[in-house]
Structure 1
Amino acid sequence: MTTENKNNGGRLNLLVATQDAEPVCEWVREALGKEPVEVTQPYAEESRLEIYFDTLLEAKIAKKALPAELPIQAAEAKEYKEQDWTTFWQHHFQTMELGKNLRIIPEWEDVPEDERTNIIINPGLSFGTGGHFTTRFCLEALEEAIQVLKPQTMIDAGTGSGILSIAAIKLGIPKVDAFDYDPVCVDQCNGNAARNGVDGTINFFQADVLEPGWYAEPSDIVCANILTSVLLEAAPLIKRATKKRMLLSGIREIEADAVADTFIQLGCREISRDGDGQWCGLVIDV
Protein backbone atom coordinates (compact mmCIF):
# COMPACT_ATOMS: atom_id res chain seq x y z
CA MET A 1 0.00 0.00 0.00
CA THR A 2 1.28 3.49 -0.84
CA THR A 3 0.69 6.68 1.07
CA GLU A 4 0.59 10.17 -0.36
CA ASN A 5 3.79 12.12 0.14
CA LYS A 6 2.69 15.37 1.78
CA ASN A 7 5.93 17.04 0.76
CA ASN A 8 5.20 16.59 -2.97
CA GLY A 9 2.73 18.34 -5.22
CA GLY A 10 2.00 19.42 -8.76
CA ARG A 11 3.25 22.46 -10.63
CA LEU A 12 1.88 23.94 -13.84
CA ASN A 13 4.55 25.84 -15.78
CA LEU A 14 3.37 28.40 -18.32
CA LEU A 15 5.60 30.26 -20.78
CA VAL A 16 4.13 33.56 -21.97
CA ALA A 17 5.25 36.78 -23.60
CA THR A 18 6.01 39.28 -20.83
CA GLN A 19 3.27 41.64 -22.01
CA ASP A 20 0.76 38.76 -21.73
CA ALA A 21 1.74 37.73 -18.21
CA GLU A 22 -0.84 39.86 -16.43
CA PRO A 23 -3.96 38.73 -18.34
CA VAL A 24 -2.85 35.10 -17.97
CA CYS A 25 -2.29 35.63 -14.23
CA GLU A 26 -5.76 37.17 -13.95
CA TRP A 27 -7.30 34.10 -15.61
CA VAL A 28 -5.41 31.77 -13.27
CA ARG A 29 -6.65 33.67 -10.21
CA GLU A 30 -10.25 33.77 -11.36
CA ALA A 31 -10.54 30.31 -12.91
CA LEU A 32 -8.19 28.25 -10.73
CA GLY A 33 -8.22 30.21 -7.48
CA LYS A 34 -4.41 30.13 -7.36
CA GLU A 35 -1.78 32.85 -7.10
CA PRO A 36 0.82 32.31 -9.84
CA VAL A 37 4.51 32.89 -9.22
CA GLU A 38 5.99 35.03 -11.99
CA VAL A 39 9.66 34.36 -12.79
CA THR A 40 10.86 37.13 -15.08
CA GLN A 41 14.25 38.66 -15.70
CA PRO A 42 14.28 42.47 -16.09
CA TYR A 43 13.47 43.55 -19.67
CA ALA A 44 12.98 39.93 -20.77
CA GLU A 45 10.55 39.29 -23.61
CA GLU A 46 9.26 36.06 -22.03
CA SER A 47 7.99 35.22 -18.56
CA ARG A 48 7.52 31.90 -16.79
CA LEU A 49 4.49 31.47 -14.59
CA GLU A 50 4.42 28.71 -11.97
CA ILE A 51 1.15 27.57 -10.37
CA TYR A 52 1.38 25.15 -7.46
CA PHE A 53 -1.14 22.44 -6.57
CA ASP A 54 -1.43 19.82 -3.85
CA THR A 55 -1.14 16.97 -6.37
CA LEU A 56 0.22 16.36 -9.87
CA LEU A 57 -3.28 15.29 -10.97
CA GLU A 58 -4.65 18.74 -10.10
CA ALA A 59 -1.88 20.37 -12.16
CA LYS A 60 -2.72 18.13 -15.14
CA ILE A 61 -6.43 18.94 -14.85
CA ALA A 62 -5.61 22.66 -14.74
CA LYS A 63 -3.49 22.30 -17.88
CA LYS A 64 -6.41 20.70 -19.72
CA ALA A 65 -8.64 23.57 -18.60
CA LEU A 66 -6.47 26.25 -20.24
CA PRO A 67 -8.56 28.03 -22.90
CA ALA A 68 -7.18 27.90 -26.43
CA GLU A 69 -7.50 31.69 -26.74
CA LEU A 70 -5.26 32.33 -23.71
CA PRO A 71 -1.90 33.72 -25.00
CA ILE A 72 0.30 30.86 -23.73
CA GLN A 73 3.36 29.76 -25.69
CA ALA A 74 3.93 26.49 -23.78
CA ALA A 75 2.42 24.63 -20.82
CA GLU A 76 3.77 21.74 -18.76
CA ALA A 77 2.41 19.95 -15.70
CA LYS A 78 4.99 18.21 -13.57
CA GLU A 79 5.60 16.95 -10.07
CA TYR A 80 7.60 19.02 -7.65
CA LYS A 81 9.11 18.09 -4.33
CA GLU A 82 9.42 20.29 -1.30
CA GLN A 83 13.20 20.28 -1.79
CA ASP A 84 12.71 21.71 -5.32
CA TRP A 85 11.00 24.77 -3.85
CA THR A 86 13.69 25.16 -1.20
CA THR A 87 16.42 24.91 -3.84
CA PHE A 88 14.65 27.52 -5.97
CA TRP A 89 14.60 30.06 -3.16
CA GLN A 90 18.16 29.33 -2.04
CA HIS A 91 19.29 30.09 -5.59
CA HIS A 92 17.16 33.21 -6.15
CA PHE A 93 16.80 34.70 -2.66
CA GLN A 94 19.92 36.07 -0.97
CA THR A 95 20.63 38.63 1.73
CA MET A 96 20.08 42.18 0.54
CA GLU A 97 20.37 45.62 2.10
CA LEU A 98 17.88 48.28 1.12
CA GLY A 99 16.69 51.66 2.29
CA LYS A 100 18.68 53.44 4.96
CA ASN A 101 18.67 50.74 7.60
CA LEU A 102 16.96 47.56 6.38
CA ARG A 103 18.37 44.12 5.60
CA ILE A 104 16.36 41.15 4.30
CA ILE A 105 17.85 37.76 5.20
CA PRO A 106 16.76 34.25 4.12
CA GLU A 107 16.38 32.07 7.19
CA TRP A 108 19.09 29.71 5.90
CA GLU A 109 21.76 32.45 5.97
CA ASP A 110 23.68 33.87 8.95
CA VAL A 111 22.30 37.01 10.56
CA PRO A 112 24.83 39.87 10.82
CA GLU A 113 24.95 41.81 14.06
CA ASP A 114 25.19 45.54 13.36
CA GLU A 115 23.01 48.65 13.34
CA ARG A 116 20.75 47.54 10.48
CA THR A 117 17.24 46.20 11.09
CA ASN A 118 17.25 42.53 10.08
CA ILE A 119 14.12 40.90 8.67
CA ILE A 120 14.40 37.12 8.43
CA ILE A 121 12.15 35.53 5.83
CA ASN A 122 11.24 32.08 4.60
CA PRO A 123 8.97 32.86 1.64
CA GLY A 124 7.51 29.37 1.29
CA LEU A 125 4.87 29.69 -1.42
CA SER A 126 4.19 33.33 -0.59
CA PHE A 127 5.15 36.46 -2.47
CA GLY A 128 7.45 38.96 -0.79
CA THR A 129 11.20 38.58 -0.29
CA GLY A 130 12.41 42.08 -1.14
CA GLY A 131 13.85 40.79 -4.41
CA HIS A 132 11.03 42.10 -6.55
CA PHE A 133 10.89 45.85 -7.22
CA THR A 134 7.36 46.19 -5.81
CA THR A 135 8.36 44.78 -2.41
CA ARG A 136 11.57 46.84 -2.30
CA PHE A 137 9.60 49.97 -3.11
CA CYS A 138 7.10 49.35 -0.31
CA LEU A 139 9.85 48.63 2.23
CA GLU A 140 11.80 51.77 1.37
CA ALA A 141 8.67 53.94 1.21
CA LEU A 142 7.56 52.50 4.56
CA GLU A 143 10.91 53.29 6.15
CA GLU A 144 10.66 56.89 4.94
CA ALA A 145 7.02 57.25 6.03
CA ILE A 146 7.89 56.07 9.54
CA GLN A 147 10.62 58.68 9.80
CA VAL A 148 8.43 61.51 8.49
CA LEU A 149 4.94 60.72 9.78
CA LYS A 150 5.62 58.78 13.01
CA PRO A 151 2.63 56.49 12.39
CA GLN A 152 1.07 54.50 15.21
CA THR A 153 -1.02 52.10 13.12
CA MET A 154 -0.71 50.30 9.77
CA ILE A 155 -2.75 47.95 7.59
CA ASP A 156 -0.93 45.63 5.18
CA ALA A 157 -3.34 44.58 2.43
CA GLY A 158 -2.14 41.52 0.52
CA THR A 159 0.58 40.78 3.03
CA GLY A 160 2.11 37.77 1.21
CA SER A 161 5.07 36.63 3.32
CA GLY A 162 4.36 39.27 5.98
CA ILE A 163 7.60 41.09 5.19
CA LEU A 164 6.11 44.61 5.26
CA SER A 165 4.24 44.03 8.51
CA ILE A 166 7.30 42.57 10.20
CA ALA A 167 9.37 45.54 9.00
CA ALA A 168 6.73 47.94 10.34
CA ILE A 169 6.80 46.39 13.81
CA LYS A 170 10.60 46.27 13.93
CA LEU A 171 10.80 49.90 12.76
CA GLY A 172 8.53 51.04 15.55
CA ILE A 173 4.85 51.03 14.48
CA PRO A 174 3.02 49.74 17.59
CA LYS A 175 -0.14 48.32 15.94
CA VAL A 176 -0.18 46.43 12.64
CA ASP A 177 -3.03 44.52 11.00
CA ALA A 178 -2.23 42.40 7.94
CA PHE A 179 -4.36 40.21 5.73
CA ASP A 180 -4.23 38.15 2.58
CA TYR A 181 -6.80 36.42 0.43
CA ASP A 182 -4.75 33.20 0.56
CA PRO A 183 -4.93 31.32 3.91
CA VAL A 184 -1.55 29.69 3.14
CA CYS A 185 0.01 33.16 3.29
CA VAL A 186 -1.48 33.78 6.72
CA ASP A 187 0.15 30.64 8.11
CA GLN A 188 3.46 31.58 6.49
CA CYS A 189 3.24 35.10 7.95
CA ASN A 190 2.85 33.79 11.47
CA GLY A 191 5.91 31.61 10.94
CA ASN A 192 7.96 34.54 9.66
CA ALA A 193 6.85 36.69 12.57
CA ALA A 194 8.12 33.99 14.95
CA ARG A 195 11.46 33.89 13.10
CA ASN A 196 11.82 37.60 13.82
CA GLY A 197 10.80 37.43 17.45
CA VAL A 198 7.61 39.42 16.88
CA ASP A 199 5.03 36.60 16.94
CA GLY A 200 1.79 37.70 18.54
CA THR A 201 2.43 41.39 17.81
CA ILE A 202 0.81 41.45 14.33
CA ASN A 203 -2.82 40.62 13.65
CA PHE A 204 -2.63 38.35 10.59
CA PHE A 205 -5.96 37.27 9.12
CA GLN A 206 -7.63 36.15 5.90
CA ALA A 207 -9.75 38.68 4.00
CA ASP A 208 -10.56 40.00 0.55
CA VAL A 209 -9.58 43.63 -0.06
CA LEU A 210 -12.57 43.98 -2.38
CA GLU A 211 -15.02 43.10 0.40
CA PRO A 212 -15.86 45.58 3.19
CA GLY A 213 -15.01 44.56 6.73
CA TRP A 214 -11.21 44.16 6.63
CA TYR A 215 -10.65 47.20 8.81
CA ALA A 216 -12.42 48.27 12.01
CA GLU A 217 -11.04 51.80 11.93
CA PRO A 218 -8.69 53.74 9.62
CA SER A 219 -4.94 53.36 10.06
CA ASP A 220 -2.21 55.96 9.65
CA ILE A 221 -0.62 53.96 6.82
CA VAL A 222 -2.09 51.42 4.41
CA CYS A 223 0.29 49.32 2.30
CA ALA A 224 -1.28 47.60 -0.69
CA ASN A 225 1.16 45.66 -2.85
CA ILE A 226 -1.48 44.10 -5.05
CA LEU A 227 -2.51 44.08 -8.71
CA THR A 228 -3.58 47.17 -10.60
CA SER A 229 -7.03 45.78 -11.40
CA VAL A 230 -7.62 45.09 -7.71
CA LEU A 231 -6.23 48.49 -6.64
CA LEU A 232 -8.60 50.27 -9.02
CA GLU A 233 -11.65 48.36 -7.81
CA ALA A 234 -10.71 48.60 -4.13
CA ALA A 235 -9.63 52.27 -4.27
CA PRO A 236 -12.61 53.72 -2.32
CA LEU A 237 -12.19 51.13 0.45
CA ILE A 238 -8.42 51.66 0.64
CA LYS A 239 -8.86 55.42 0.80
CA ARG A 240 -11.45 55.20 3.59
CA ALA A 241 -9.11 52.89 5.53
CA THR A 242 -6.26 55.43 5.43
CA LYS A 243 -5.67 58.34 7.81
CA LYS A 244 -2.40 59.66 6.38
CA ARG A 245 -0.59 57.75 3.64
CA MET A 246 -1.01 54.90 1.16
CA LEU A 247 1.91 52.91 -0.23
CA LEU A 248 0.70 51.30 -3.44
CA SER A 249 2.55 48.87 -5.67
CA GLY A 250 2.09 45.77 -7.79
CA ILE A 251 1.53 48.27 -10.62
CA ARG A 252 2.91 48.03 -14.13
CA GLU A 253 4.56 51.31 -15.11
CA ILE A 254 2.17 51.79 -18.01
CA GLU A 255 -0.72 51.57 -15.50
CA ALA A 256 0.66 54.03 -12.94
CA ASP A 257 -1.17 57.10 -14.24
CA ALA A 258 -4.50 55.29 -14.16
CA VAL A 259 -3.99 54.23 -10.54
CA ALA A 260 -2.79 57.69 -9.46
CA ASP A 261 -5.70 59.42 -11.23
CA THR A 262 -8.21 57.11 -9.55
CA PHE A 263 -7.00 58.07 -6.08
CA ILE A 264 -6.67 61.77 -7.02
CA GLN A 265 -10.34 61.73 -8.05
CA LEU A 266 -11.12 60.43 -4.56
CA GLY A 267 -9.49 63.56 -3.09
CA CYS A 268 -5.97 62.21 -2.51
CA ARG A 269 -2.68 63.62 -3.77
CA GLU A 270 0.34 61.87 -5.22
CA ILE A 271 3.54 62.46 -3.23
CA SER A 272 5.99 60.43 -5.29
CA ARG A 273 6.44 57.44 -7.55
CA ASP A 274 9.28 55.19 -8.63
CA GLY A 275 9.72 52.42 -11.16
CA ASP A 276 12.21 50.05 -12.71
CA GLY A 277 11.02 50.22 -16.31
CA GLN A 278 8.43 47.49 -15.77
CA TRP A 279 6.95 47.85 -12.28
CA CYS A 280 5.98 50.96 -10.36
CA GLY A 281 5.05 52.12 -6.87
CA LEU A 282 3.09 55.17 -5.70
CA VAL A 283 3.08 57.16 -2.46
CA ILE A 284 -0.35 58.75 -2.02
CA ASP A 285 -1.50 60.99 0.86
CA VAL A 286 -5.13 61.48 1.83
Structure 2
Amino acid sequence: MPQYIYAEGKQNDIRTAAKRFELLFEEDGFAISNFEVDEDSNLWALSLYPAEEGVTDIYKIALAELSALSMALPLRIEELADVDWVTKSLEGLVPVEAGRFIVHGSHDKGVINTRGHIAVQINAGQAFGTGHHGTTAGCLKVLSEELRGFHPLRILDLGTGSAVLAIALAKLLKQEILATDIDPVSIETADENTRINEVHPLVKTAVAAGFHHPVFAEKGPFDLIVANILAGPLCKMAPDVARNTAIGGRVILSGLLPHQRSRIISAYRTQGMSLVRTVTENGWLVLVFKR
Protein backbone atom coordinates (compact mmCIF):
# COMPACT_ATOMS: atom_id res chain seq x y z
CA MET A 1 0.00 0.00 0.00
CA PRO A 2 1.38 3.50 -0.83
CA GLN A 3 2.92 5.49 2.02
CA TYR A 4 3.39 9.16 2.83
CA ILE A 5 4.93 11.29 5.59
CA TYR A 6 2.61 13.05 8.03
CA ALA A 7 2.82 15.33 11.08
CA GLU A 8 0.51 17.43 13.22
CA GLY A 9 1.44 20.55 15.18
CA LYS A 10 0.88 24.25 15.68
CA GLN A 11 0.24 26.43 12.63
CA ASN A 12 3.60 28.27 12.67
CA ASP A 13 5.59 25.05 13.03
CA ILE A 14 3.68 23.26 10.28
CA ARG A 15 3.97 26.19 7.85
CA THR A 16 7.68 26.65 8.59
CA ALA A 17 8.32 22.95 8.01
CA ALA A 18 6.27 22.96 4.78
CA LYS A 19 8.28 25.88 3.38
CA ARG A 20 11.57 24.18 4.26
CA PHE A 21 10.45 20.94 2.62
CA GLU A 22 9.37 22.84 -0.53
CA LEU A 23 12.91 24.19 -0.85
CA LEU A 24 14.55 20.91 0.09
CA PHE A 25 12.55 18.74 -2.30
CA GLU A 26 11.64 21.24 -5.07
CA GLU A 27 13.68 19.47 -7.76
CA ASP A 28 12.19 16.10 -6.80
CA GLY A 29 8.67 17.35 -7.43
CA PHE A 30 7.18 15.85 -4.25
CA ALA A 31 3.67 16.99 -3.37
CA ILE A 32 3.57 18.86 -0.04
CA SER A 33 0.44 20.19 1.66
CA ASN A 34 -0.40 21.86 4.97
CA PHE A 35 -3.89 22.43 6.27
CA GLU A 36 -5.92 23.18 9.38
CA VAL A 37 -7.24 20.21 11.37
CA ASP A 38 -8.84 21.88 14.41
CA GLU A 39 -9.37 25.66 14.55
CA ASP A 40 -10.11 25.75 18.30
CA SER A 41 -6.83 24.10 19.27
CA ASN A 42 -4.75 25.66 16.43
CA LEU A 43 -3.92 22.16 15.21
CA TRP A 44 -2.50 21.91 11.69
CA ALA A 45 -1.23 19.00 9.62
CA LEU A 46 1.54 18.51 7.05
CA SER A 47 1.65 15.80 4.39
CA LEU A 48 4.64 14.94 2.20
CA TYR A 49 4.25 12.47 -0.67
CA PRO A 50 7.64 11.16 -1.89
CA ALA A 51 8.20 8.62 -4.63
CA GLU A 52 6.85 5.32 -3.34
CA GLU A 53 10.17 3.47 -3.34
CA GLY A 54 11.99 6.20 -1.38
CA VAL A 55 9.68 7.00 1.53
CA THR A 56 12.03 5.75 4.26
CA ASP A 57 15.04 7.67 2.93
CA ILE A 58 13.02 10.88 2.50
CA TYR A 59 11.62 10.43 6.01
CA LYS A 60 15.18 10.37 7.42
CA ILE A 61 16.16 13.46 5.40
CA ALA A 62 13.05 15.31 6.59
CA LEU A 63 13.75 14.40 10.21
CA ALA A 64 17.33 15.65 9.90
CA GLU A 65 16.10 18.92 8.37
CA LEU A 66 13.69 19.49 11.27
CA SER A 67 16.43 18.65 13.76
CA ALA A 68 18.69 21.27 12.16
CA LEU A 69 15.87 23.78 12.66
CA SER A 70 15.48 22.67 16.30
CA MET A 71 11.91 21.60 15.54
CA ALA A 72 10.35 18.55 17.16
CA LEU A 73 7.38 17.86 14.91
CA PRO A 74 6.23 14.24 15.31
CA LEU A 75 6.84 13.07 11.74
CA ARG A 76 5.58 9.58 10.97
CA ILE A 77 5.05 7.34 7.95
CA GLU A 78 1.39 6.63 7.19
CA GLU A 79 -0.36 4.21 4.86
CA LEU A 80 -2.31 5.80 2.01
CA ALA A 81 -5.57 4.07 1.16
CA ASP A 82 -5.63 2.60 -2.33
CA VAL A 83 -8.03 5.16 -3.81
CA ASP A 84 -7.90 7.04 -7.11
CA TRP A 85 -7.46 10.37 -5.33
CA VAL A 86 -7.23 12.38 -8.53
CA THR A 87 -10.62 11.15 -9.72
CA LYS A 88 -12.13 11.54 -6.26
CA SER A 89 -10.88 15.10 -5.85
CA LEU A 90 -11.92 16.16 -9.35
CA GLU A 91 -15.52 15.23 -8.56
CA GLY A 92 -15.67 18.15 -6.17
CA LEU A 93 -13.85 20.68 -8.36
CA VAL A 94 -15.75 23.44 -10.08
CA PRO A 95 -14.93 24.67 -13.60
CA VAL A 96 -12.06 27.17 -13.73
CA GLU A 97 -12.05 30.28 -15.91
CA ALA A 98 -8.54 31.25 -17.01
CA GLY A 99 -8.35 34.03 -19.56
CA ARG A 100 -10.25 32.99 -22.68
CA PHE A 101 -10.48 29.40 -21.48
CA ILE A 102 -12.68 27.43 -19.11
CA VAL A 103 -11.34 24.10 -17.87
CA HIS A 104 -13.78 21.49 -16.60
CA GLY A 105 -14.16 17.79 -15.90
CA SER A 106 -16.51 15.35 -17.60
CA HIS A 107 -18.94 15.68 -14.69
CA ASP A 108 -19.58 19.31 -15.72
CA LYS A 109 -19.91 18.75 -19.46
CA GLY A 110 -23.23 20.01 -20.73
CA VAL A 111 -24.19 21.75 -17.48
CA ILE A 112 -21.79 24.69 -17.49
CA ASN A 113 -22.12 27.94 -19.40
CA THR A 114 -19.11 28.16 -21.72
CA ARG A 115 -20.39 31.18 -23.67
CA GLY A 116 -17.49 33.50 -24.49
CA HIS A 117 -14.89 30.89 -23.49
CA ILE A 118 -13.01 28.05 -25.12
CA ALA A 119 -13.94 24.90 -23.21
CA VAL A 120 -11.20 22.41 -22.35
CA GLN A 121 -12.29 19.11 -20.78
CA ILE A 122 -9.61 17.46 -18.66
CA ASN A 123 -10.62 14.24 -16.94
CA ALA A 124 -8.95 12.88 -13.85
CA GLY A 125 -5.88 10.88 -14.71
CA GLN A 126 -2.31 10.14 -13.70
CA ALA A 127 -0.80 13.20 -15.38
CA PHE A 128 -0.49 16.65 -13.82
CA GLY A 129 -2.75 19.43 -14.99
CA THR A 130 -6.48 19.70 -14.30
CA GLY A 131 -6.41 23.48 -14.70
CA HIS A 132 -7.22 24.14 -11.05
CA HIS A 133 -3.62 24.61 -9.95
CA GLY A 134 -2.26 28.17 -10.00
CA THR A 135 0.57 27.16 -12.33
CA THR A 136 -1.79 25.93 -15.05
CA ALA A 137 -4.42 28.64 -14.62
CA GLY A 138 -1.74 31.33 -14.66
CA CYS A 139 -0.17 29.92 -17.80
CA LEU A 140 -3.56 29.81 -19.56
CA LYS A 141 -4.23 33.44 -18.63
CA VAL A 142 -0.85 34.55 -19.93
CA LEU A 143 -1.33 32.59 -23.16
CA SER A 144 -4.72 34.30 -23.63
CA GLU A 145 -3.06 37.69 -23.40
CA GLU A 146 0.15 36.97 -25.31
CA LEU A 147 -1.65 35.44 -28.29
CA ARG A 148 -3.79 38.50 -28.96
CA GLY A 149 -0.97 40.21 -30.82
CA PHE A 150 1.49 37.38 -31.34
CA HIS A 151 0.88 34.71 -33.98
CA PRO A 152 3.32 31.78 -33.65
CA LEU A 153 3.39 29.08 -36.32
CA ARG A 154 5.53 26.41 -34.65
CA ILE A 155 4.51 25.66 -31.07
CA LEU A 156 5.88 23.31 -28.40
CA ASP A 157 4.21 22.32 -25.11
CA LEU A 158 7.20 20.97 -23.19
CA GLY A 159 6.34 18.64 -20.30
CA THR A 160 2.73 18.51 -21.43
CA GLY A 161 1.32 16.35 -18.60
CA SER A 162 -2.45 16.17 -19.21
CA ALA A 163 -2.02 18.25 -22.41
CA VAL A 164 -4.28 20.99 -21.04
CA LEU A 165 -2.06 23.72 -22.52
CA ALA A 166 -1.65 21.96 -25.87
CA ILE A 167 -5.41 21.42 -26.13
CA ALA A 168 -6.13 25.05 -25.26
CA LEU A 169 -3.61 26.23 -27.87
CA ALA A 170 -4.99 23.90 -30.55
CA LYS A 171 -8.56 25.07 -29.92
CA LEU A 172 -7.57 28.74 -29.89
CA LEU A 173 -5.22 28.75 -32.88
CA LYS A 174 -6.57 25.76 -34.86
CA GLN A 175 -3.09 24.69 -35.86
CA GLU A 176 -0.59 21.95 -35.07
CA ILE A 177 0.92 21.78 -31.57
CA LEU A 178 3.81 19.52 -30.53
CA ALA A 179 3.32 18.16 -26.99
CA THR A 180 6.12 16.20 -25.34
CA ASP A 181 6.74 14.66 -21.93
CA ILE A 182 9.37 12.46 -20.32
CA ASP A 183 6.65 10.22 -18.83
CA PRO A 184 4.89 7.65 -21.07
CA VAL A 185 1.84 7.64 -18.75
CA SER A 186 1.48 11.39 -19.24
CA ILE A 187 1.53 10.95 -23.00
CA GLU A 188 -1.14 8.24 -22.78
CA THR A 189 -3.28 10.63 -20.72
CA ALA A 190 -2.53 13.49 -23.13
CA ASP A 191 -3.60 11.39 -26.13
CA GLU A 192 -6.85 10.47 -24.38
CA ASN A 193 -7.58 14.10 -23.53
CA THR A 194 -6.85 15.33 -27.06
CA ARG A 195 -9.35 12.79 -28.40
CA ILE A 196 -11.98 13.83 -25.84
CA ASN A 197 -11.51 17.46 -26.92
CA GLU A 198 -11.48 16.47 -30.60
CA VAL A 199 -8.12 18.11 -31.32
CA HIS A 200 -6.11 14.90 -31.76
CA PRO A 201 -5.50 15.65 -35.46
CA LEU A 202 -3.76 18.89 -34.39
CA VAL A 203 -1.78 17.78 -31.31
CA LYS A 204 1.25 15.63 -32.07
CA THR A 205 2.60 13.91 -28.93
CA ALA A 206 5.93 12.26 -28.20
CA VAL A 207 7.72 10.69 -25.24
CA ALA A 208 10.94 12.67 -25.12
CA ALA A 209 13.56 13.37 -22.47
CA GLY A 210 15.34 16.64 -23.14
CA PHE A 211 15.69 17.82 -26.72
CA HIS A 212 17.45 14.80 -28.24
CA HIS A 213 14.34 13.28 -29.82
CA PRO A 214 14.28 13.81 -33.61
CA VAL A 215 10.82 15.36 -33.43
CA PHE A 216 12.35 18.62 -32.16
CA ALA A 217 14.56 18.99 -35.21
CA GLU A 218 11.62 18.03 -37.43
CA LYS A 219 9.15 20.54 -35.95
CA GLY A 220 11.45 23.31 -34.70
CA PRO A 221 12.79 25.84 -34.18
CA PHE A 222 9.70 27.04 -32.34
CA ASP A 223 8.03 30.41 -32.35
CA LEU A 224 6.44 29.59 -28.98
CA ILE A 225 7.52 27.20 -26.23
CA VAL A 226 5.39 26.74 -23.12
CA ALA A 227 6.75 24.75 -20.19
CA ASN A 228 4.79 24.24 -16.98
CA ILE A 229 7.30 22.16 -15.02
CA LEU A 230 9.80 22.66 -12.17
CA ALA A 231 12.52 25.25 -11.67
CA GLY A 232 15.39 22.75 -11.59
CA PRO A 233 14.71 21.15 -14.98
CA LEU A 234 13.88 24.53 -16.50
CA CYS A 235 17.28 25.89 -15.48
CA LYS A 236 19.13 22.83 -16.78
CA MET A 237 17.29 22.98 -20.10
CA ALA A 238 17.79 26.73 -20.62
CA PRO A 239 20.51 26.27 -23.31
CA ASP A 240 18.40 23.72 -25.21
CA VAL A 241 15.22 25.78 -24.88
CA ALA A 242 16.99 28.86 -26.23
CA ARG A 243 18.62 26.89 -29.03
CA ASN A 244 15.23 25.53 -30.10
CA THR A 245 13.49 28.93 -29.98
CA ALA A 246 13.32 30.85 -33.26
CA ILE A 247 14.61 34.42 -33.41
CA GLY A 248 11.77 36.62 -32.18
CA GLY A 249 10.11 33.59 -30.59
CA ARG A 250 8.74 33.53 -27.05
CA VAL A 251 9.11 31.17 -24.13
CA ILE A 252 6.49 31.00 -21.36
CA LEU A 253 7.64 29.28 -18.17
CA SER A 254 5.36 28.27 -15.31
CA GLY A 255 5.42 25.91 -12.32
CA LEU A 256 7.63 28.40 -10.46
CA LEU A 257 7.62 29.91 -6.98
CA PRO A 258 8.36 33.64 -6.51
CA HIS A 259 11.68 33.01 -4.74
CA GLN A 260 12.92 31.16 -7.86
CA ARG A 261 12.48 34.21 -10.10
CA SER A 262 16.08 35.49 -10.07
CA ARG A 263 17.50 32.02 -10.64
CA ILE A 264 15.33 31.38 -13.70
CA ILE A 265 15.84 34.85 -15.19
CA SER A 266 19.61 34.52 -14.84
CA ALA A 267 19.62 31.10 -16.53
CA TYR A 268 17.67 32.36 -19.55
CA ARG A 269 19.31 35.76 -19.89
CA THR A 270 22.65 33.95 -20.09
CA GLN A 271 21.25 32.21 -23.19
CA GLY A 272 20.31 35.48 -24.89
CA MET A 273 16.67 35.53 -23.80
CA SER A 274 15.13 38.81 -22.62
CA LEU A 275 12.43 38.96 -19.95
CA VAL A 276 9.16 40.38 -21.35
CA ARG A 277 6.90 40.14 -18.31
CA THR A 278 6.29 38.51 -14.94
CA VAL A 279 2.85 37.37 -13.76
CA THR A 280 1.88 35.97 -10.36
CA GLU A 281 -1.21 33.77 -10.00
CA ASN A 282 -2.26 32.32 -6.62
CA GLY A 283 1.30 32.49 -5.34
CA TRP A 284 2.83 30.93 -8.49
CA LEU A 285 5.00 32.63 -11.06
CA VAL A 286 4.76 32.82 -14.86
CA LEU A 287 7.70 34.27 -16.81
CA VAL A 288 7.60 35.33 -20.46
CA PHE A 289 10.89 35.55 -22.41
CA LYS A 290 11.71 36.59 -25.97
CA ARG A 291 14.66 35.56 -28.08
Q: TM-score range by the shorter chain?
A: 0.7 to 0.9
Q: CA deviation at 1:21?
A: 2.4
- Paired residue type of 1:268: M
> Alignment partner for residue 77 of structure 1, among 66, 76, 79?
79
One of 254, 257, 272 as aligned partner of 2:259: 254
Select the structure of larger CA radius of gyration. Answer: 2
- Relative to structure 2, which stretch is displaced further, 172-181 or 15-24? 15-24
Amino acid aligned to 1:252: L
**1:237-252 equivalence runs, <5 A:** 237-243=240-246, 244-252=249-257
- Alpha-carbon spacing, 1:129–1:277, altered in 2? closer, same or farther (3 Å): closer
Give the drift of 1:254.
0.6
Aligned to 1:266: 271
- Measure how far apart 1:20 and its partner are: 1.1
1: CA distance, partners of 2:104 / 2:129: 12
Secondary structure of the residue that 1:141 maps to in structure 2?
Answer: helix
Structure 1 residue 126 corresponds to structure 2 residue 127:
yes
2-structure distance, mates of 1:280, 1:86: 27
Which residue is 1:281 aligned to? 286
- Deviation of 1:50 after TM superposition, in Å, equals 3.4
Equivalent runs, 1:122-201 vs 2, <5 Å: 122-201=123-202
Show the counterpart of 2:234.
231
Deviation at 1:85, TM superposition (A): 3.7
Equivalent residues, number? 257
> Is the Cα–Cα contact under 8 Å of residues 87 and 124 in structure 2 kept in the other structure?
no
Amino acid in the other structure paired with 2:55: K
Q: Distance in 1 between matches of 2:174 and 2:132?
A: 23
C-alpha separation in 1, matches of 2:238 and 2:121: 31
Q: TM-score, normalised by structure 1?
A: 0.80
Q: Which runs of at least 4 in structure 1 moved beyond 6 Å after TM superposition?
A: none
* Cα distance, 1:90 vs structure 2: 1.5
Q: Which runs of 5+ in 1 are unaligned?
A: 1-9, 30-34, 53-58
Q: TM-score, normalised by structure 2?
A: 0.79
Which SS does the other structure have where 2:216 is aligned? coil
Are the counterparts in 1 of residues 222 and 245 from structure 2 also a CA contact under 8 Å? yes
Report the secondary structure of 1:135's partner residue.
helix
The change in CA–CA distance for 1:248 and 1:142 in structure 2 (over 3 A counts) is same
Q: Does the CA contact (< 8 Å) of 1:153 and 1:173 recur in 2?
A: no
1:151 and 1:173 in contact (8 A); partners too: no
